[in-house]
């Protein structure tokens, strides 16, 4: 540090926002009550309403005002509801246009019509709290800029990790760090399914049916089990951590449908569990590799013990080292906790007449293709059970610079002379590994490439 | 919810702060650079300086200004330093009085002179970031009010859990919850010692000496091993979670000096690990039981796997359920991460011309004495190895409503006819348990009450 001078931190002076150029915010409703409009009254909306009611004194004390839900926008008027009918409307535009409403809670989900409603609310000068991961992943950059330009808040803590605080800590307390890697178990449905498969030695399809019966999985489970939900969430986290919009289309995505109970068994024998992870790591300056796929995690990794419907985010920063946040990542009450926390922040800010604290993401960041990944791999094959087979497979893999670190094998069918072999490779390039797999599939000694899974090392 | 009406959330309207009554903040230094004064240049101060230097582009981008350390206050001018001499001064008042300085980082520690310097900085209109747990635990309420009244920030994320974000998440994202219980491993030194004792079957004193040699424990380890440090930290967390100052004097405090390797061994046999915890739980409305002591934790509890110098906070809120934050709780770099995160927040707020967001704690909350605790207990005795002894001990305990749940025993010295017995009790009142122990100590069948430890159940 010998060349450091007292001017060492002066750097280029950024032009600050001129505080006079932005009109001072006040409660649009001009009341002494924070008047809240809710869009959507499903699991999350009703949880938020109940929380505001159950904890009203605490919420009032923390905002400095009471918070009153004055209007709830719904799709279907015919559903029986326990609240007075005049609280509800199917005219959602009328809520975001209502000058008597201070804050909008967008709890509909999906891009359409939620996106247009959030935009309209912001343009009407209302701060917004949303739990909408798909909207924030796809339109977040534009919407946060819109809020920032108007001195409004746009909070979205509930979009990732349910009630676990992850978004604001990344934006604020960890903001001084260069994030070196982030890995998250961000979808409760898939973590529940993988946990059950592990605990009970069960097949994917059987556990999925059970999860659907229990309400842990949707009738159409695509969004969860094929990794879409996780990809939206890791896109948001990566966009915050690196300050630039990560395009969802640039995220490598692979779900858990192809994970067999055999894979979970062999992973266990080798000292690993299988988790669906969202992972982001910077590759070079200004390039990110963002990926969602099943992963073999060493059993002693902190994320490995996150079970059932729990979610967790593991972050490695250059100064903070590694840390982890875990808790209930979904459900009515935990999600309500995050929405109400954000609402309290909006209310506090309005109470002190402050500017919104929206922190925009900059222009899109480039993502790396999955082929540039370097990691270890798990590979399960059905092979002919005869001499020299093992050696021949090792030779083929070696041709593409893939070398072996561990192996398990068993005879599958002595009559048909078939065996099952499981390998763990040393660290290699995904491109090389894929080429090796293509060669193995061509070979006549291998009956079937059952599965291959990336290993976190 | 049938009695709920649309006016259900109206409640009493609190008088809001009049935003016009507080003068708008601007950069006191009137520069386009955030000018930072650091008080104290030990482990934390030098870490912060290094982080601001290493990550200067990221910090500048996030604040919207560059941050420049313009002055560093030190105690001793004679120490060799790698930075230019004109950056340093021993006149700490001159830093907090300097109109060219925008933000003060108080990294001295202890109440005196840090408290007076923080107060003076706030009165001079400067926002403050501090890592000082003792100061915040003892003077936090007054100092936060001082900041709030002046529209300034007083941030102290680094005071608890090093780089792990715990304070701001409790203040913001979890603010809508009623906290039902919080438990933390908040001191790295004691967690390192207990982990080493567990892994190596070693004695407290041997591990302490090793920890001192490695720099993990101070020459005078009192502050850590007797639980003072943990008591400051749990006082701060409890004050935030319940919005009222928790007096340090009202916290029950017991350190780890008396934990024998035998206790760790027996705890392990019974399925537990021993951790020094800070615990807070509301007993009735407006009363808290806050305590710091070694605790037997079931091995499958999330906190049980937090080892070595790692810290963790486990929170149970009425809506969010249980969640946990873990990471490196001390050290130069993780603590710098928290300080710089706070500094970025102060800078962002100044950049948008915003009011500070200090959230004051209200008047002191009453604390319950430890006697009102109800829990399970671990008890290790040396007894005479002869018939009926076990029955007699069970009788004495039963007289005070203490019943037994599990037992381990071994012969210690066949010649002297001595045995060692370990009990786990069922849940009982601490007052009853203490009376039972007093009776046992009087009895002639028990040679020695070696130890008793509370169990988290």
Whether residues B322 and A323 touch (CB distance < 8 A) is answered with no
- What string of pLDDT tens digits covers the 457 residues of chain A? 333 333 333 333 333 334 334 334 455 666 678 999 999 999 999 999 999 999 999 899 888 889 999 999 999 888 888 888 999 999 999 999 999 999 999 999 999 999 999 999 999 999 999 999 999 999 999 999 999 999 999 999 999 999 999 999 999 999 999 999 999 999 999 999 999 999 999 999 999 999 999 988 999 999 999 999 999 999 999 999 999 999 999 999 999 999 999 999 999 999 999 999 999 999 987 899 999 999 999 999 999 999 999 999 999 999 999 999 999 988 999 999 999 999 999 999 888 877 777 888 888 889 999 999 999 999 999 999 888 899 999 999 999 999 999 999 999 988 989 999 999 999 999 999 999 999 999 999 999 999 999 999 8
Q: Is A64 on the interface with B (CB under 8 A)?
A: yes
pLDDT at B227: 98
- Retrieve residue B119's tokens: 């107060």
- Sign of the four-CA dihedral A144, A145, A146, A147: positive
Max Cα distance, chain A (Å): 84
Within 8 A of B345 by CB-CB distance, chain A residues are 172, 175
DSSP, collapsed to helix, strand or coil, labels residue A114 as helix
- ipTM for the complex? 0.90
Q: Is B313 on the interface with A (CB under 8 A)?
A: no
Q: Which residues pair with B67 in a beta bridge?
A: B34
Other beta carbons less than 10 A from residue A254's beta carbon:
18
CATH topology of domain A373-455: Alpha-Beta Plaits (3.30.70)
With tokens 């970025």, the residue in question is B344
Q: Do the strands B321-328 and B366-367 form a parallel or antiparallel pair, or are they unpaired?
A: unpaired
pLDDT at B15: 33
pLDDT at A410: 92
Residue B233: burial class (beta carbons within 10 Å; 0-12, 13-18, 19+): buried
pLDDT at A10: 35
Low-confidence stretches of chain B (pLDDT beneath 70): 1-31
Helix B204-214, helix B188-200: angle, nearest 10: 130
Q: Is A120 on the interface with B (CB under 8 A)?
A: no
The closest CB to that of B157, out of A61, A173, A352, belongs to A173
pLDDT at A81: 82
Whether residues B318 and A344 touch (CB distance < 8 A) is answered with no
Q: Is A156 on the interface with B (CB under 8 A)?
A: no
Dihedral (C-alpha) B309, B315, B320, B321: value to the nearest 10 degrees? 100
| A-chain residue closest to B70, CA distance | A6
CATH topology of domain A22-163+332-351: Rossmann fold (3.40.50)
DSSP, collapsed to helix, strand or coil, labels residue B446 as strand
| Four-way CATH pick for B21-162+332-351: 3.40.50.410, 3.40.50.720, 1.25.40.340, 3.40.190.10 | 3.40.50.720
Whole-angstrom distance, CA of residue B33 vs CA of residue B176: 36
Whole-angstrom distance, CA of residue B318 vs CA of residue B322: 9
Whole-angstrom distance, CA of residue B361 vs CA of residue B246: 9
Are the C-beta atoms of A171 and A237 separated by less than 8 Å? Answer: no
Q: In chain B, what are the domain boundaries? A: 21-162+332-351, 167-328, 373-455
| B-chain residue closest to A362, CA distance | B61
Other beta carbons less than 10 A from residue B82's beta carbon:
9
Whether residues A352 and B357 touch (CB distance < 8 A) is answered with yes
Residue A95: burial class (beta carbons within 10 Å; 0-12, 13-18, 19+): buried
Are the C-beta atoms of B425 and B404 separated by less than 8 Å? Answer: yes
Whether residues A323 and B325 touch (CB distance < 8 A) is answered with yes
The closest CB to that of A341, out of B8, B176, B344, belongs to B176
Q: Is A50 on the interface with B (CB under 8 A)?
A: yes
Q: What is the pLDDT of residues A299-336, one digit of tens each?
A: 999 999 999 999 999 999 999 999 999 999 889 999 99
Within 8 A of B174 by CB-CB distance, chain A residues are 163, 165, 337, 341
The closest CB to that of B341, out of A62, A69, A173, belongs to A173
Q: Is B163 on the interface with A (CB under 8 A)?
A: yes
Buried b (16+ CB within 10 A) or exposed e, B107-138: bbbeeebbbebbbbbbebebbbbbbbbbbbbb
Whether residues B348 and A354 touch (CB distance < 8 A) is answered with no
The closest CB to that of A64, out of B14, B83, B354, belongs to B14
Edge-to-edge strands, sheet with A154-155:
A88-89, A66-73, A33-39, A103-106, A127-130, A154-155
Q: Is the peptide bond before A113 cis (omega within 30 degrees of 0)?
A: yes
Whether residues A324 and B326 touch (CB distance < 8 A) is answered with yes
Within 8 A of A70 by CB-CB distance, chain B residues are 6
pLDDT at B30: 61
With tokens 């059950």, the residue in question is A196
Whole-angstrom distance, CA of residue B152 vs CA of residue B359: 10
Radius of gyration of chain B, Cα coordinates, nearest whole angstrom: 25
Whether residues A327 and B341 touch (CB distance < 8 A) is answered with no
Average pLDDT, chain A: 91
DSSP A362: B
Whether residues B12 and A86 touch (CB distance < 8 A) is answered with no
Among candidates A37, A106, A52, A133, which has minimal Cα distance to A330?
A133
pLDDT at B362: 81
Helix B228-242, helix B133-149: angle, nearest 10: 30
The model carries a pTM of: 0.92
Other beta carbons less than 10 A from residue B451's beta carbon:
17
The closest CB to that of A355, out of B318, B326, B353, belongs to B353
The closest CB to that of A11, out of B66, B84, B324, belongs to B66
Q: To the nearest whole angstrom, how far is the Cα of A228 from the nearest Cα of chain B?
A: 24
Helix B114-123, helix B133-149: angle, nearest 10: 10
Whether residues B69 and A351 touch (CB distance < 8 A) is answered with no
pLDDT at A29: 64
Are the C-beta atoms of A378 and A423 separated by less than 8 Å? Answer: yes
Catalytic residues of B: 233
Other beta carbons less than 10 A from residue B305's beta carbon:
16
| Helix (H) or strand (E) segment spanning residue B59 | helix B56-63
What values do phi and psi take at B46, rounded to 5? -70, -30
- Give B368's contacts (C-beta < 8 A, 6+ positions apart): B283, B287, B288, B289
| B-chain residue closest to A334, CA distance | B320
Whether residues B66 and A10 touch (CB distance < 8 A) is answered with yes
CATH topology of domain B167-328: Dihydrodipicolinate Reductase; domain 2 (3.30.360)
Q: Is B64 on the interface with A (CB under 8 A)?
A: yes
- Retrieve residue B71's tokens: 């002055």
Direct distance between the N- and C-terminal alpha carbons of chain B, in angstroms, rounded to an integer: 33
Whole-angstrom distance, CA of residue A138 vs CA of residue A116: 13
- Give B186's contacts (C-beta < 8 A, 6+ positions apart): B160, B161, B229, B230, B233, B234, B278, B311, B313, B329
Radius of gyration of chain A, Cα coordinates, nearest whole angstrom: 25
Dihedral (C-alpha) A142, A147, A151, A155: value to the nearest 10 degrees? -130
Rounded to whole angstroms, what are the CA distances from A223 to A238, A253, B103, B195? Answer: 20, 12, 47, 42
Q: Is A351 on the interface with B (CB under 8 A)?
A: yes
Whole-angstrom distance, CA of residue A14 vs CA of residue B214: 43
Catalytic residue among A196, A233, A429, A448: A233
Whole-angstrom distance, CA of residue B330 vs CA of residue B319: 30
Are the C-beta atoms of B323 and B163 separated by less than 8 Å? Answer: no
pLDDT at A5: 36
């Amino acid at each position: 540090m010998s060349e450091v001078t007292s001017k060492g931190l002066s750097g280029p002076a950024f032009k600050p926002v001129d505080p006079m150029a932005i009109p001072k915010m006040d409660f649009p409703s001009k009341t002494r009550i924070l008047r809240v409009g809710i869009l959507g009254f499903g699991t999350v909306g009703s949880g938020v309403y109940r929380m505001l009611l159950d904890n009203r004194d605490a919420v009032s004390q923390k905002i400095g005002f009471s918070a009153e839900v004055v209007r709830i926008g719904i799709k279907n008027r015919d559903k029986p509801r326990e609240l007075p009918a005049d609280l509800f409307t199917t005219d959602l535009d009328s809520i975001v246009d209502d000058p008597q409403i201070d804050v909008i809670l967008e709890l509909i989900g999906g891009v359409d019509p939620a996106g247009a409603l959030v935009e309209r609310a912001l343009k009407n000068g209302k701060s917004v709290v949303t739990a909408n991961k798909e909207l924030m992943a796809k339109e977040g950059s534009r919407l946060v800029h819109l809020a920032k330009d108007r001195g409004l808040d746009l909070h979205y803590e509930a979009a990732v990790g349910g009630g676990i605080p992850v978004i604001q800590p990344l934006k604020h307390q960890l903001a001084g760090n260069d994030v070196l890697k982030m890995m998250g178990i961000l979808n409760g449905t898939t973590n529940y399914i993988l946990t059950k498969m592990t605990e009970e030695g069960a097949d994917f399809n059987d556990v999925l049916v059970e999860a659907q019966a229990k309400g842990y999985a949707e009738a159409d489970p695509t969004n969860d089990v094929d990794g879409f939900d996780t990809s939206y969430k890791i896109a948001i986290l990566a966009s915050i951590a690196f300050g630039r919009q990560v395009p969802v289309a640039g995220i490598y995505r692979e779900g858990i449908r192809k994970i067999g109970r055999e894979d979970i068994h062999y992973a266990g024998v080798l000292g690993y569990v299988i988790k669906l992870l969202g992972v982001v790591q910077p590759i070079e300056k200004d390039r990110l590799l963002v990926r969602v796929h099943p992963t073999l995690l060493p059993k002693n990794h902190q994320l490995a013990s996150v079970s059932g419907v729990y979610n967790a985010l593991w972050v490695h920063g250059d100064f903070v080292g590694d840390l982890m946040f875990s808790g209930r990542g979904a459900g009515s009450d935990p999600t309500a906790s995050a929405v109400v926390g954000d609402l309290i922040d909006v209310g506090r800010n309005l109470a002190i007449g402050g500017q919104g604290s929206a922190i925009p993401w900059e222009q899109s960041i480039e993502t790396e293709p999955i082929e540039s990944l370097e990691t270890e791999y798990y590979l399960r094959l059905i092979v002919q059970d005869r001499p020299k087979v093992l050696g021949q497979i090792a030779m083929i893999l070696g041709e593409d610079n893939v070398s072996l670190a561990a192996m398990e094998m068993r005879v599958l069918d002595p009559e048909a002379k078939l065996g099952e072999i499981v390998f763990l490779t040393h660290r290699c390039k995904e491109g090389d590994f894929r080429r090796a797999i293509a060669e193995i599939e061509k070979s006549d000694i291998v009956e079937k490439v059952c599965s291959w899974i990336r290993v976190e090392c």
